Amino acid sequence: MKFRVTYYLRILFFLVSAGWLAAPGLQAQNISLTRGGSSLYQDLSWPQNLYVQDRLFTARIGILQGGYLSYTPQPAGSVSQHLDRLYDTRYWRNTGLESELLTPAGRETILREHFGSNGSARFFNQAEMNWIDIRWHGNRRSYALSVKTRYASRFEIGRGLFSLEGAQNGDYSAINRSFFQKSQVFHELSFTTAEPLTYLSGMLSDLSQFVVGITPKFLIAAGYTEVYADEQIHYDQLAHHWSSTSQFNQRASGYMAEFANDIAGGRYVPGLTRKNLLNPAGYGFGVDAGISYMITLGDDLSLLNRGREATRKALRFNFSLTDIGALFYTGETFGANLDPTVTTLQEEPGVADRTFYGAPAEYIHFLEPLGLHRMEDQIELGVDEPKSVFLPSAAHLGIDFMYNVISLSGSAHYTFQDQAFSTSGFGVNSTIEVRPFSPLSIHAGTGFGQDQPGYYSGGARLMTRWFELNATAVLLRTRGSGSHLFAGAMGGLSIYLN
């Protein structure tokens, strides 16, 4: 008995740790996976999903369901290294990482894996932790309440920051040394309700229903920063000198504004910590809404026997709008601006001596040695008016098919704006889930998005009468060489009250 208890505790520890690594809300990332990583009908980014009873319960309590996804110039090689980058403040402060300085071979790997023949490459980090998620079913409606924290960092790096090989090979056109990053954190309290559309459903067979769902959200804004540093290098072959055209722009709110203001004032700042990055800096509102048309198949009478029979065979057509809303930063915001400036360089420009992982305050230590973060007299500093930022709004279309032990899902989405959480454009994804025997289901998925790498995912769900554990691992395809790398995971624990 002692061995069995220890064994299950180890499984629980691993899956909850994987939950901290996961990326459960990746619709905004153009790499869509279901929250929790498995069941097609548990993903509340489609709020109408809440109404579907794929298993019977009085209440469901999700605890520490979350995840992390990372695509950076030097990817993490293991789960533990992903955890280090998420929790270790050295990666936020970019101190004590001398052992990770780049070698020539490391730069060559970055260029081959991520840039190929392109002048720049895009990267991102995204994390979400659903601290608690409570759901319950009524006779005619279903309800859910959840509290979560969402974090994203998206950045683009010019090839010239890692290599000047264009000039070395006789190509004297402009060398792209641009850098762009957006980072954002906010907390979310949401309430979801879903119910059938009585009027429309009454016109159809009793074995089919229109179901609608809506999720109003109250948001607490935390740290936000947007940094743009651009330098284009030219080499004059006749005059034998280098010239630089550079500009700089930054906007920040919350603790990131205090941090940037101290740096601009020449004051020593040890760097961000997880605690102060999460400090409230404003508020916001948002909403998710969706509608589905569901048809039960064969001998499945779950729509007639709601609360007494779980849905086992069904076909659904879905549409939803997610993250419609905005965040409003009420405190002072930081602003810095350097208009395009042309200078003659006395020597060949240097390349980055370290990689970049995308932590919010890391840009300073990455850019300063390259001369791209210069708080000099010609940089116009100022305090902006209170700032507003739109949420990563998206529209989704999908189809789900469930037949006993097999579930299939396919969807397409369009993200409307470039944000820390998203790049605008289309994306598609698909998932298959199989339950070979009662306590266990396994699932796999794939998809791609516009200007995003394709992904593959796979994982498992352990289901008992009283609780459920799930975990998913994600592989991303690199843009340069087309190889695949471990990028993150998702997971968590759910407790059922029957």
- Per residue in 20-46, pLDDT (tens digit) is 333 334 333 334 333 333 345 566 678
Q: Which two tokens stand for residue 297?
A: 């198949």
Residue 416 has phi, psi (to 5 degrees) of -85, -30
Question: pLDDT class for 191, splitting at 50, 70, 90?
Answer: very high
Given a contact cutoff of 8 angstroms between Cβ atoms, the answer to whether 354 and 367 are in contact is no
pLDDT digits (tens, 9 = 90+) for 240-254: 777 778 888 888 888
pTM of the predicted protein model: 0.84
More confident residue, 407 or 308: 407
Give me the mean pLDDT over the 399-424 stretch: 87
How many whole angstroms separate alpha carbon 299 and alpha carbon 436?
21
| Better-scored residue on pLDDT, 338 or 270 | 338
268 or 143, which is more confident: 143
Cβ neighbors of 41 (< 8 A, separation 6 or more) are: 49, 52, 54, 311, 400, 402
Higher per-residue confidence, 450 vs 150: 150
Average of per-residue pLDDT across 360-380? 71
Cβ atoms 254, 331 nearer than 8 A: yes
Q: What are phi and psi of 6, to 5 degrees?
A: -60, -40
H or E element: which one contains 472?
A: strand 467-477
Measured between alpha carbons, how far is 296 from 401 in angstroms, rounded to an integer? 10
Indicate the pLDDT class of residue 327, thresholds 50, 70 and 90: very high
Domains of the chain and any CATH numbers: 2-497 (2.40.160)
Element (H, E) at 137: strand 120-137
Average pLDDT of the residues in 318-325: 92
Phi, psi of 245 (to 5 degrees): -115, 115
* CA-atom Rg of the chain in angstroms: 25
Asked whether the beta carbons of 431 and 441 are under 8 A apart, the reply is no
**What pLDDT, on the 0 to 100 scale, is given for residue 202?**
57
| Residue 64 Ramachandran class (φ > 0 left, ψ -120 to 50 alpha, else beta) | left
